[in-house]
Structures are given as C-alpha cells and as structure tokens.
Amino acid sequence: MTVLPFSVILRIIARLNYSVGEKMGLMDIKSGRDVPNEINVIIEIPMHGEPVKYEVNKETGALFVDRFMTTAMFYPTNYGYVPKTLSEDGDPVDVLVVTPVPLISGAVIPCRVVGMLKMTDEAGVDTKVLAVPTSKLSKMYDHVKTYEDLPHPLLLSIEHFFQHYKDLEEGKWVKVDGWQGPDAARNEIISSVARFEQDQ
C-alpha cells in the first residue's frame, strides 16, 4: 500500500476545495443531523484550559478573547454552543461537552443531549445544555442517557465552577438553580432553533 506524504495530501485537499469554489466556515455549520437528539457543538473553550473566556463572533466566525477570568478556575468540561440557535439571552445555546480529553477551540463535535443546568445571573436566565459525544465518536458514553448517569463529582464540579467563576468580577453573579433532564434540554434546543429561524 502506498502512503502519500502529508504535504501531497494537503495539496490534493486544497485543489478539491478550489475546484468546488466554496469555503466552509463555522457560519455554515448546521445545528445538527437530528436536532434535538443529535446536535453539533462548536467548541469555544477546552476542558481544563487556561482561564480565558473565548467566544466565536457569530457574525464573522472568528474566535475572540472575551475576557480573562479573574478567578483561578478552569472549565470542568469543554464549552461551546449549538450553531443556528438563539437562546432567551440573545446568544446561541451554550453546551458543556463531557469528553475523555480536551478538545481544541473551533472544533465541531456531534453530541447527544443528556441534561441541562439551569442558572440565573446578573443578565437573567442562563442555561447550559449538558452533552456527550455521539456513539459514532465514542462508545464510552453509550450508557449515559441522562445527566444522572455521569459521575456525581463531575456534576458537583460543574455546579461549583458556575457558582463561583464570576466571583471576582464586579457587578456579576450566578445562582445555580439545579439540573434538568434531557427532555428539558431538547425543548430548550427546539425553541432556540425556532427563535433563530424567526430572527432571520
């Protein structure tokens, strides 16, 4: 079997892209293959990464530094959003993605929804959908049907992080209201997709 050098593979891909004549960017990513059961999540912040809050600019698709976190804390899971959704807070649906290793910013991962963390902050209602990779990516999470199937210490770590990550930011606060199951999370996604489509 002949193995092509990496540089040759890159040239082939570049030619294919050129011949198609279209570029693919984050703005072109769909909400998922089978919304709300299977969703695409665009990762903004890797699990256990540096204390920097990144956000993808929804108009340009570029990854911006939103702010440097003042607390000495890191995100307990990968953090991103579902494209082509609009939450009540005016942003896309936030998603916490549980994986065995950190993902890079800008990666797109197909996920299955298992729950939702309901919170309130200085701006109003704030929800975080909790998801795991689809079975095609990893069988490791096939047994996880609801957030309750994940390790309890992980859930406590997520709650603690969001309860305190804004503690040193003046005028900001968060109150964790508790976990809800996958049905509530799917309803959140459905209504956010509808809100996005109405806004177009």
- Is 126 marked as binding a ligand? yes
Pairwise CA distance, residues 115 & 129, whole Å:
6
Is residue 81 part of an annotated ligand binding site?
Answer: no
Question: Is 53 assigned a ligand-binding role in the annotation?
Answer: yes
CA distance from start to end of the chain: 50
Start-end of H helices in the chain: 6-20, 152-164, 182-199
d(CA 132, CA 147): 10
Distances from the Cα of 3 to the Cα of 9, 11, 15, 16, angstroms = 10, 15, 19, 19
Is 66 one of the annotated binding-site residues?
no
- Is 79 labeled as ligand-binding? yes
**What is residue 93's DSSP assignment?**
P
Q: Is 165 annotated as a binding residue?
A: yes
91 is in an annotated binding site: no
Q: Which residues are annotated as a binding site?
A: 53, 67, 79, 89, 94, 126, 165
Q: Which residues are annotated as a binding site for substrate?
A: 53, 67, 79, 165
Q: Which residues are annotated as a binding site for Mg(2+)?
A: 89, 94, 126
